[in-house]
């Protein structure tokens, strides 16, 4: 496939442009911070997104199975932030725009249409995986919240000495 060869040659530029687009989904001040700090210890989110994007591109181009690992790292971050499900996953679709922009100089190539269609399908599959990961993360967050509320209620009842009375009433039913 000629497209994969072209994308491999340009993957550094694609990764950089995609990173810019992903960071643009954050509020302006956050985006500035994510772009400016290169140190992984002072900017773990930006570093994780950058490494994740590079890993996803490499996995897509080499048909590697590691794509879930890189995708998972980015989605876990976005799942705990104030993104709706569609906003959290939308960055995956931005890859299509970045690739098309990068391939604009080749728009007259006849073979490109068919191969770009295959690429689009792979990105769509990636988006579906991202959504599954996002929903799993959100489910886990809600489970943690429910468990915490249950524990908090239990401790309150225990402090108010109402737990024994509750257990007695429960047995009588």
| pLDDT tens readout for residues 1-12 | 588 899 999 999
pLDDT tens across 48-72, in order?
A: 999 999 999 999 888 666 888 999 9
pTM over 0.85: no
- Residue spans per domain, the chain: 2-138
User: Residue 125: which H helix or E strand, with range?
Assistant: helix 112-159
Q: In this predicted structure, what is the pLDDT of residue 81?
A: 93
57 burial via Cβ count (<10 Å: 0-12, 13-18, 19+): buried
3-state secondary structure of 13: helix
Nearest to 63 by CA among 11, 103, 119, 12: 119
């Amino acid at each position: 496939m000629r497209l994969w060869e072209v994308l491999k040659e340009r993957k550094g530029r694609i990764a950089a442009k995609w990173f810019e687009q992903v960071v643009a989904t954050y509020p302006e001040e956050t985006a500035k911070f994510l772009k400016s700090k290169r140190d992984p210890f002072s900017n773990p989110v930006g570093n994780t997104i950058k490494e994740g994007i590079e890993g996803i591109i490499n996995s897509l181009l080499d048909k590697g199975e590691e794509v879930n690992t890189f995708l998972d790292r980015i989605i876990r971050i976005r799942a705990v932030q104030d993104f709706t499900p569609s906003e959290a996953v939308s960055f995956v679709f931005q890859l299509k725009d970045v690739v098309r922009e990068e391939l604009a100089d080749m728009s007259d190539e006849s073979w490109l249409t068919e191969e770009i269609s295959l690429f689009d399908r792979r990105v769509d599959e990636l988006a579906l995986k991202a959504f599954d990961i996002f929903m799993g993360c959100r489910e886990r967050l809600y489970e943690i919240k429910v468990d915490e509320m249950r524990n908090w209620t239990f401790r309150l009842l225990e402090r108010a000495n109402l737990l024994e009375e509750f257990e007695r009433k429960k047995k009588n039913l």
